[in-house]
Amino acid sequence: MQLPKYKKKKRIKLKVCQEPGCGREFWGHPIAKYCELHRDIKQRQKQKKDIENIESKNIIFRHNYTEAMDLEFKCCLEGCNNTFTIRMFPKQYVYPRFCMEHRNDFKRANFLRIMQKK
């Protein structure tokens, strides 16, 4: 049996804790990010998600319909005169603001860029 001729060297470095506001120095493996205290996830700060305003992409349409009905709406994008049909449901008030051609962000931005060139 052949034995290895080298000894695996422990790579331990002096690191700084990546938790916001901590900044403690600790000895750890090169990929370690947190000190002993913040290795436990319960001790870390919770990351807050950026909350986007719901009305930027949707219409809040209050109604008192008791049955599902179809209504025509005009696209809210400047320069687009398309109309589209939305099915209204009872007790549901949030509906899309844009027509099917402009529902995603890329298509809206592309349409506005094309309209500016004209």
The answer to whether position 8 is within a domain reads: no
The answer to whether position 64 is within a domain reads: yes
Say yes or no: 35 and 69 in one domain. no
Residue 99, token pair as written in the block: 């027509």
The answer to whether position 51 is within a domain reads: no
**pLDDT single digits (tens) 15-41:** 999 999 999 999 999 899 999 999 998
70 residue type, one letter:
D
pLDDT tier at 112, thresholds 50, 70, 90: very high
Distance CA 45, CA 67 (A): 46
The answer to whether position 39 is within a domain reads: yes
Q: For residue 11, give Cα distances in angstroms to 5, 18, 24, 55.
A: 18, 19, 19, 52
Give the position of tokens 């998600």: 49
Domain enclosing residue 83, as ranges = 57-101+110-117
Say yes or no: 95 and 70 in one domain. yes
Which residues does residue 26 pair with via DSSP β-bridges, in sequence order? Answer: 15
